[in-house]
């Protein structure tokens, strides 16, 4: 029945990679799929700061926001790996 349903979906909705959808079911109980990232809390705050800079209109240069956020995240990770080898 599942196989027939999948075949019907593939016929009705072309061009969709159904593997992605079905395999994502494995992660339903892990809503935060980046949880394995070291220093996730710090990185989340760094990224949210980038968004806040854009939303508040403080920084209008998107490339600068991304570059700064990237540098900050990289620094956090470098510091983490320096002490967790």
Partner 1 sequence: MSFSTGKRTLSLARREALWAYAFIAPWTVGFLIFTIGPMLASLFFSFTDYNIIDSPRWIGMTNYVNLFHDDLFWHALGVTFKFAVIALPLGMVFSYTIAVLLNSKIKGINIWRTLYFLPSVIAGVAVALLWGRIFDPKFGILNPFLEKFGIQGPGWLSDPQWAITALVIMSLWGVGGNVIIYLAGLQGVPTDLYDAAKVDGATGWQRFRYVTLPMTTPVIFYNLVLGLIGTFQYFTEVYVLTNGAGGPARSTLFYNLYLYQNAFKYFHMGYASTMAWVLFIIVLGLTLLIFRSSELWVYYEGQIKGK
Task: Tell me how far CA of residue 46 lies from CA of 40, 42, 59, 66, 75, in angstroms.
Answer: 10, 6, 15, 11, 11
Query: Does position 53 bind partner 1 by CB under 8 A?
Result: yes
Distance CA 65, CA 4 (A): 48
Applying CB under 8 A, does 56 fall inside the site for partner 1? yes
Contact between 33 and partner 1 (CB under 8 A)? Answer: no
> What is the x/- site pattern for partner 1, positions 1-20, by CB under 8 A?
--------------------
What residue ranges bind partner 1 (CB under 8 A)? 39, 41-42, 45, 48-49, 52-53, 55-59, 83
């Amino acid at each position: 029945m599942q196989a027939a349903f999948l075949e019907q979906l593939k016929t009705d909705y072309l061009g969709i990679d159904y593997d992605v959808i079905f395999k994502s079911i494995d992660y339903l109980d892990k809503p935060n799929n980046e949880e394995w990232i070291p220093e996730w809390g710090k990185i989340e705050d760094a990224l949210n700061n980038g968004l806040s800079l854009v939303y508040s209109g403080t920084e209008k240069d998107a490339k600068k926001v991304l570059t700064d956020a990237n540098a900050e995240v990289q620094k956090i990770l470098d510091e983490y790996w320096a002490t967790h080898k």
